[in-house]
Structure 1
Amino acid sequence: MKKSISITLCAALLALSGCSQNTSSDALSSDISSAASESQSTASQEESSGSSLQNGNGGFKVEGTKLLDANGKEFIMRGINHAHTWYLDEDTTAIKAIAETGSNVVRVVCSDGEQWTKDTENMLETVINLCIDNEMIAVVEVHDATGKDDKTALDKATDYWIEMKNALIGKEQYVILNIANEWTGGWNGELWRDGYTESIPKLREAGIKNTILVDAAGWGQYAKSIGDYGKEVFDSDPDKNTMFAVHMYGTAGKNSSVIEKNLKYAIDNGLCVIVGEFGYTHTDGDVDEAFIMKYCQENGIGYIGWSWKGNSGGVEYLDIANSWDGSVLSADWGENLVNGENGIKQTSVKCSVFTKE
């Protein structure tokens, strides 16, 4: 989403509509000691299952179409986007209020300084710690690259995260890195692929081990880019720890068949996907938000609604709350997202890193 919050979309003008590992062993042996050794090894693997060590990075790990947390438990996102970089003074109030909706994740709008005031390392650490203190996972994203078909915008976002890596390293169990919000406005899957297959290895080389989240091309709504090139983007990650997001407004989220088709582009390719943004309507048409939530719930897919508060430029209707403290939710959008059937309160499960189990 853009600040005018035409935000992410402009997609109104777009013409097109739009995780699990199996291990097996054939090794059979009549040798009793070999069989015992193999049995002991299997038992040891089962015993370690569910520990953070199995995820290698000590944090989240993509396994096929699923996202596992640091304890090896499946994590399904249910949350809300928060416009941090535009409303710094509201962070404490907003994040506490978002937690009170039952959300298990906050997607945090950040800036690399290209378009808005640059988030410093200290600012990032502060907002991330607010999310952790309120027992929610933080998904951080650079918004300055929104809708830009210029590869330098993605390069700048990538360089920014490398500069800010100390705010991410050591917090792999709490923070997911959404490199750039809706990079590429055009429906150009090749450009999208080429940008991310270059960006992701740079981040890994810099020592960033957090799970990476990549928005689809076309203002986040061109889900076919994931179907066509998502596997190449995933394979470019040396850690094989990248997932994808489709943003659903009047183009990608207009009806049940389009919604299902757009999410299956990833799923049918064995990739992990979430709905990283959606509303109940937008400048490019109505959105079937009830089906988005229903389909995600039935299929174990995460969703994050846009956005808590602060929308402007004629799209104020996308505010989930009428006040920063969440005392009144918007009738047409917030009430349905938070309290509706398949909404956040009914379906959200806190990440196990915050539980005592």
Structure 2
Amino acid sequence: MKRRLLSVGAALLAVAASVLMFVKPADAAVGLHVDGRNIVEANGQPFVMRGVNHPHVWYTGETDSFADVKALGANTVRVVLGSGKRWGPSTDVADVISLCKQNRLICVLEVHDTTGYGEEGAAASLDEAVDYWISQKSALVGQENYVVINIGNEPIGNVDAGQWTAATTAAITKMRASGFEHLLMVDAPNWGQDWQYVMRDNAQAILDADSRQNTVLSIHMYAVFNTATAITDYLDRFEDNGWPLVIGEFGWRFNANEVDHETILAESQARGLGYLGWSWSGNTDPILDMATSFDPARLTTWGERIFNGANGIRATAREATIFGGGPTGTPSPIPTPTKSPTPSPTGGGKACAAEYRVVGQWPGGFQGEVRVTAGSSAISGWTVTWTLASGQAVSQAWNATVTTGGSVVTARNVSYNGSLGAGVATTFGFLGSWSGDNAVPTLSCTAT
């Protein structure tokens, strides 16, 4: 009888243990983690990265940059660190994390020494990058709500890009065996651009290699992604398969062969993808700087676009709920929008109306936005025109093809926003300069 009671008790204990294991498995998510194709916080709230890269290892004294990018609206900063193989070693990880937390930014930490391994002779291997993370483990453990570990930047070059799969699998396995519970980020080969599609074609194997199922893939988009088709085709593959992805680096179209940043921004917003632009300042090629000499009051064309433009950081970033949540940006110096007195669309034919507003204004410059609304019938295209006041000029535009002839500005739809259903609206934006009076024009809208 005693043996039977002991057997029953043991069985009950086994059932209880199985229930407990079902409620909280050994590999339960801690802090930031992957849920399907999304990144979520520990409380289950989605988190979409909107931020920039900061070259900390080369400019360790530029610590004001964390506050500066936060003030411009970022919710995330990707911080360049060095393992000591080529740069650094970065032994100030605890200080970097503290700067991120003080400024209510999620911290993506990356080892830059791995850049171009296999093609760049001085580069560190992913295994060496993991050794660096292990050496910094005391600063990282307990920071899973705030820190993403990007194991190695652009870890394989264009020579034998196929080695990326085994190297990445081994790195993830070693990180988990060493006790790291953080969300891990892994960059693509081909200097991050994956033009041979090694990451795309082996994505599931990489995700399966993580015992905690807590890895996000990262694509870097530069000149390989200089058309909307190249960008959308790549993103479609990941979305169709439910793979988690962020755009860990990208630049802007400063000439016709460069990255189509407008598509990246629009598609990221439409798909709920995180993005981190390259880079805040300090590039040897300053065309990629967002701020001149780390000065937030001297934003470049690229800086104005990514922070203040449509689908940009200020408009779309939401602070992590671990810090309180909500929009992260501060208002523009003159934030009150000014609308043009353009009439609403009327009539049964193909018609449209355009509404103009000043989104932000600063001495000598401003950001404008135009909302185009179809009339009571669907339209397949639209054209908006207006006349610039004396001293005004348009320097850059997005979501429309904008030309200027004398003082007349003509804006035409692009391929993806010309067809509008009855009463449906779309917007395009632009950056401009002004002197004297930044007058609001009267707009004319015609539809086809």
**TM-score, normalised on structure 1?**
0.80
State the alpha-carbon separation in 1 of the partners of residues 36 and 45 from structure 2.
14
Instruction: Note if 1:68 corresponds to 2:40.
Output: yes
Alignment check: 8 A CA contact 2:74 2:317 kept: yes
| 1:280 counterpart SS class | coil
State the alpha-carbon separation in 1 of the partners of residues 182 and 203 from structure 2.
18
Instruction: Note if 1:131 corresponds to 2:100.
Output: yes
State the alpha-carbon separation in 1 of the partners of residues 308 and 157 from structure 2.
33
What corresponds to 2:380 in structure 1?
none
| 2:246 counterpart SS class | strand
Aligned residue among 144, 167, 173 for 1:195: 167
Identical residues among aligned pairs (%): 38
**C-alpha displacement at 1:282, in angstroms?**
7.2
Aligned residue among 208, 220, 229 for 1:235: 208
Which of the two has higher C-alpha Rg? 2
For the aligned residue pairs, the C-alpha RMSD in angstroms reads 2.3
Aligned residues: 301
* Aligned residue runs from structure 1 range 94-173, under 5 A: 94-120=65-91, 123-149=92-118, 153-173=125-145
| 2:110 counterpart SS class | strand
What corresponds to 1:264 in structure 2?
236
Aligned residue among 246, 250, 261 for 1:278: 250
What does the per-residue CA deviation read over 1:130-187, in whole Å, with 9 as the maximum and x for residues that have no partner? 0111001000000011011279611110111111111211000000000000000117
| 2:241 counterpart SS class | coil
Structure (1/2) with the larger helix percentage: 1
Aligned residue among 149, 164, 178 for 1:177: 149
Instruction: Note if 1:294 corresponds to 2:266.
Output: yes
Instruction: Note if 1:320 corresponds to 2:290.
Output: yes
- Counterpart amino acid of residue 215 in structure 2: T
Aligned residue among 286, 303, 308 for 1:339: 308
Structure 1 segments of 4 or more deviating over 6 A? none
**C-alpha displacement at 1:264, in angstroms?**
2.6
**C-alpha displacement at 1:316, in angstroms?**
1.0
State the alpha-carbon separation in 1 of the partners of residues 208 and 110 from structure 2.
21
Alignment check: 8 A CA contact 2:118 2:159 kept: no
Alignment check: 8 A CA contact 1:322 1:329 kept: yes
What corresponds to 1:351 in structure 2?
320
Structure (1/2) with the larger strand percentage: 2
What does the per-residue CA deviation read over 1:223-256, in whole Å, with 9 as the maximum and x for residues that have no partner? 62222111111111100000011101111x2011
| 2:149 counterpart SS class | strand
State the alpha-carbon separation in 1 of the partners of residues 105 and 56 from structure 2.
15
- The structure-2 alpha-carbon separation of the partners of 1:317 and 1:54, relative to structure 1 and needing over 3 Å to count, comes to farther
Aligned residue among 223, 229, 235 for 1:250: 223
- The structure-2 alpha-carbon separation of the partners of 1:356 and 1:299, relative to structure 1 and needing over 3 Å to count, comes to closer
State the alpha-carbon separation in 2 of the partners of residues 283 and 200 from structure 1.
38
State the alpha-carbon separation in 1 of the partners of residues 273 and 27 from structure 2.
20
Unaligned runs of at least 5 residues, structure 1: 1-40
What does the per-residue CA deviation read over 1:39-70, in whole Å, with 9 as the maximum and x for residues that have no partner? xx9xxx9xx9xxxx999343011111111112
**C-alpha displacement at 1:219, in angstroms?**
0.7
- The structure-2 alpha-carbon separation of the partners of 1:64 and 1:284, relative to structure 1 and needing over 3 Å to count, comes to farther
**TM-score, normalised on structure 2?**
0.64
**C-alpha displacement at 1:265, in angstroms?**
3.1
